[in-house]
Amino acid sequence: MRRYWLLFSQAVTVLLAAWFVVATLKPDWLRSAAVTTGTGVALVEAPTPANAPPPVGSFRQAAQRASAAVVSINTSKAPPRQQLNDPWFRFFFGDQGEQAQVGLGSGVIISPEGYILTNNHVVEGADEIEVTLNDSRSTQAKVIGTDPETDLAVLKIELDRLPVITLGNSDALQVGDQVLAIGNPFGVGQTVTSGIVSALGRNQLGINTFENFIQTDAAINPGNSGGALVDVGGQLMGINTAIYSRSGGSMGIGFAIPTSTAKQVLEGIVKDGVVRRGWIGVEPADLSPDLMETFGVKARHGVLVTGVLQNGPAAQAGLRPGDVIIDVAGKPIANVSELLTTVAALKPGAAAPFKVQRRDASLELNVTPGQRPRPRAPVR
């Protein structure tokens, strides 16, 4: 009997020592304990370490880094004056014409000074702009400048301790890269959706004058306009701006303006109040068999000049109708969209070399671009 008692006491001592070591070094192991609910049912809870890493494949960290800098934008605009004074409008529709028109969108804080990037169509014509941060703070914003040709606008708010997003290199994006879209769709509150980069360099969509969109299948819906498209590191890759939809909701085809374009617009607006772009005063056209026959063109690639503005920069440099622009400042030109974008990137007043094919002759002309005239607001 004494022998059994001795074995029992030694076993208990070893178990208590083991429990003490585990409780001291690995207390989380002991948290998976049975908990009795009010109904008398015993449940087993999994351990929840305070600093547990995110599950494999989770975008938690990217969303947390970027979401704080994405804001909701609410706009209001007074109704057109002609509606208020039109007796027939009031007869058929009552006094609803006196109600302010409201809009909804998103934006991204890109500097501690309070500068916010969003879409021009979000704030266009707005009389009041209210910005709500992810931490529930709200304030009025003022428009610093807009660029309708890229559908971008820069706002400014006056608040302290502002979260700021990190700008990424959108030129390094590749088709298939994972991205997140962050915004306030339909006004339900901040939402994060995930997808991949479906295509790059989308243009000729008829949305903006200058188009170089990132296409993504991350869900983008009304209210997401002006929100952030970020990579898996939470860095800003683009500003969500448009969707292709037949129903008004996401169909897996969304478009974002690359950060490289947004940065140029931001710097131009903050520094000069406007975006200064190059302009040469020509009417370009993509090469086609009919045009090549009409103008007697021998070139097989480039952009055909069908018209030249009298006394414009191109005319003064010697460009003529029928010339084919092959290269601008060392960059090959394949279509009208590339010519428009490349010329716009030139500095007004600084001469740039243009390689031109004129029938059988190859020429190099130095063209000094002027400043591109400010366009009328596009009809969206």
Examine the pLDDT at 256 and tell me if it is beyond 50: yes
Could you say which of 107, 130, 156 is where a domain stops? 156
- Is 255 part of a structural domain of the chain? yes
DSSP H helices, the chain, are 2-25, 60-67, 81-84, 87-93, 120-123, 259-272, 289-295, 313-317, 336-344
Q: Which residue has the tokens 């070094």?
A: 25
- Is 97 part of a structural domain of the chain? yes
The CATH number of whichever domain residue 141 belongs to comes to 2.40.10.10
pLDDT-derived band at 379 (thresholds 50, 70, 90) equals very low
d(CA 146, CA 376): 12
- Is 2 part of a structural domain of the chain? no
121 is catalytic: yes
d(CA 338, CA 148): 19
pLDDT of residue 237: 96
Could you say which of 130, 156, 182 is where a domain stops? 156
Looking at the fold, whether 144 and 176 belong to one and the same domain comes out as no
What number of CA atoms fall less than 13 Å from residue 60's CA on the CB side? Answer: 7
- Asked if 62 and 113 touch (Cβ cutoff 8 Å), the reply is no
**CB crowding 267-277: b at 16 or more within 10 Å, else e:** ebbeeeeebeb
303-308/282-286 β-pairing: antiparallel
Catalytic residue among 151, 217, 231, 323: 151
The total of other beta-carbon atoms located within 10 Å of residue 156's CB is 16
pLDDT of residue 7: 74
Looking at the fold, whether 325 and 231 belong to one and the same domain comes out as no
Residue 354's beta-bridge partner residues?
A: 328, 365
Residue 138's beta-bridge partner residues?
A: 132
Domain span at residue 258 reads: 170-272
User: Which residues have a Cβ under 8 Å from the Cβ of 355 and sit 6 or more positions away?
Assistant: 325, 326, 327, 328, 362, 363, 364
Q: Which of 159, 147, 276, 260 is nearest to 200 (CA)?
A: 260
- Is 29 part of a structural domain of the chain? no
pLDDT of residue 249: 75
225 is catalytic: yes
- Is 17 part of a structural domain of the chain? no
Q: Which of 112, 122, 149 is nearest to 264 (CA)?
A: 149
217 is catalytic: no
Looking at the fold, whether 174 and 256 belong to one and the same domain comes out as yes
Q: Calculate mean pLDDT across residues 239-252.
A: 81
Examine the pLDDT at 26 and tell me if it is beyond 50: yes
Catalytic residue among 121, 170, 250, 337: 121
- Asked if 114 and 171 touch (Cβ cutoff 8 Å), the reply is no
d(CA 239, CA 257): 5
Catalytic residue among 72, 170, 225, 337: 225
Tens of pLDDT, residue by residue over 335-355, are 888 898 889 888 899 999 999
Could you say which of 156, 184, 206 is where a domain stops? 156
Arithmetic mean of pLDDT over the chain = 84
254-258/361-367 β-pairing: unpaired
Domains in the chain, number: 3
Looking at the fold, whether 178 and 145 belong to one and the same domain comes out as no
Question: In 3-state terms, what secondary structure has residue 366?
Answer: strand
* pTM given for the model: 0.74
d(CA 111, CA 113): 5
Looking at the fold, whether 366 and 314 belong to one and the same domain comes out as yes
Q: Which of 231, 122, 117, 87 is nearest to 172 (CA)?
A: 231
Examine the pLDDT at 89 and tell me if it is beyond 80: no
- Is 4 part of a structural domain of the chain? no
